[in-house]
Amino acid sequence: MLTTLNAAALIGIDAIKVTVETNVTGGIPSFTVVGLPDNAIRESRERILTAIRNSGFDIPPKKITVNLAPADIKKEGTAFDLPVAIGLLGSLQLLSPKFEDTLILGELALDGSVRRVNGALPVAIMAGKEGIKRMIVPLSNAPEAAVAVSASNSGIAVYGVETLNETVDLIGGKSDHIPVTVNVAELFDQEPEYPVDFADIKGQGAAKKALEIAAAGGHNVIMIGPPGSGKTMLAKGLPGILPPLGFEESLETTKIYSVANLLEKDRPLMVTRPFRSPHHTTSNVALIGGGSTAKPGEVSLAHNGILFLDELPEFSRNALEVLRQPLEDREVTVSRISVTTRYPAGFMLIAAMNPSPAGALKDQYGNLTAAPQQIQRYLSKISGPLLDRIDIHIDVPKVENTDLFSASTAESSHSIRERVIAARKIQQERFASLVPRIFTNAQMSSRQIKTFCHLDRESSQKLMDAMNRLNLSARAHDRILKVSRTIADLEGSKEIEMKHLIQGIQYRNLDREFWSF
């Protein structure tokens, strides 16, 4: 007897519907799975048969064939355990199948319990588009699937199950299960907690102002200063001044974390911007994504948030160079023989580094702390093209003792965030009619820069002189205009004035002057 039901497979952060066809006939007993399954699916035979027996069902020796269609797309993971088991029980006529408009996901343990799987949220989004009316997923996955249903108003009933027997009862109509629902508004009403408030950081007024500009326009930043100057604290304080996640941003970020199986069980939706801080020994694949079974990397996990790279020159040169494409395109393309996968990577890069491999550039007597050749070798790990893609370069000097022991209170992150939100609102109104849509000044293309970053003749001459003096590239020219536009937005100015441009140019001085120490 043939039984057909619906499941799903993941491609990148999106899902496609998979039809699970289970056929049971007489003949030499066997269990075959076809349709480009990976090793986890091939090994599922023993899990499924043992789970069925331990759930109290008797399976006669039969020839079992399972087809996962479409057969030309590779299927990965353990989420097919539960649908295959239900299909097998249906084909053996051990339950009364009611599979119409139903999608099933779940991994089976040997005792018949149902375990959590990856990607329930993108699967639920896909199910809504495919006209699915009911989803049966592991109980721990039910809230994230319910979030997608709430977002799309698709009307899908999401049921969470803990055992195979519970699933059988639900499909057979013997259960009084209630669909799982999630109040999305309540999730956003929770006030996020940030580890560092700018009011707690002593001194560094110039660096704080630069980070405010970066937050307002979504700009990339590099901070250069001696150990103990507060670079890491400044980076950790940055999330507290960023505007809150919008619902569409939150949903897109949650899809990535759902696929990577990094969602916390009690947080079905990402409501705060991610902050990722990989160690400098991180490999290229872990940073950018991919691998034998393609997974999102750190750049994608930081989507709509911050990627903080501390001790930047300690990262391998190859790892730093692979950042160039996502910094420019805001997405990562991972190509394999059978499929090309795209992951979003719209992050703010915040980098920090010492000016010398010995720490501070000079000692208390004004002498270099390392040989010039060593310093040059240390700095040369950061290529010119990568620096060109970083909008704001900040000098973070040692904190003065007068600031360290001062009893005065610095401005809080909350008040800074209010200015950042106001500047972001100006940008959203400015770009509202653009297709494709952009949201921040940092995302402007060259054509958009010409439209929205007009300079008068005097300012244009000033910028030309600065480019000649600092030997800046065309990309640096665009970055200066983007930063200047953000500075003007923070002050509520419709035009980029000379003072805004000069400040924008100053944030490009550091790389040329410092590199020629």
Per-residue pLDDT tens digits for 461-500: 999 999 898 888 888 899 999 999 999 999 999 999 999 9
Q: What confidence score (pLDDT) does residue 399 get? A: 83
Contact 93, 62 (CB under 8 A): no
- Identify whether 434 is part of a domain: no
Range of the domain at 74: 2-182
pLDDT on residue 514: 52
pLDDT of residue 70: 93
Tell me how many degrees the CA angle 39-127-329 measures, rounded to the nearest 5. 75
Specify if 15 maps to a domain: yes
Nearest to 202, CA basis, from 410, 364, 32: 410
**CATH number reported for the structural domain that contains residue 149 in this entry:** 3.30.230.10
Strand bridging mode 2-11 / 14-25:
antiparallel
Q: Is residue 69 part of a domain?
A: yes
CA dihedral 287, 288, 291, 294 (to 10 degrees): 120
- CA pair distance 221, 352, nearest whole angstrom: 8
Is 173 inside a domain boundary? yes
Q: Is 326 helix (H, G, I), strand (E, B) or coil?
A: helix
DSSP secondary structure letter of residue 274: -
Instruction: Give me the pLDDT at residue 95, please.
Output: 83
Residue 361 located in a structural domain? no
Residue 410 counted as domain residue: no
With left for phi above 0 and alpha for psi between -120 and 50, is residue 159 left, alpha or beta? beta
Question: What one-letter code names the amino acid at 399?
Answer: V
What pLDDT shows up at residue 516? 52
pTM score over 0.85: yes
In a domain, 44, yes or no: yes
Q: Write the CA distances from 350 to 239, 332, 392, 410, 428, integer angstroms.
A: 11, 18, 10, 22, 23
Residues linked to residue 95 through DSSP beta bridges, in sequence order: none
Q: Is residue 453 part of a domain?
A: no
Q: What is the mean pLDDT of each run of 10 residues along the chain (517 residues)?
A: 92 92 91 90 92 94 93 90 95 81 95 95 93 94 91 87 94 86 84 85 90 96 91 94 91 93 87 94 89 84 96 91 90 77 93 90 80 86 87 89 77 94 95 89 93 93 91 90 96 94 86 51
Q: What is the pLDDT of residue 509?
A: 65
How many domains, the chain?
A: 1
Backbone angles phi, psi at 8, to 5 degrees: -150, 150
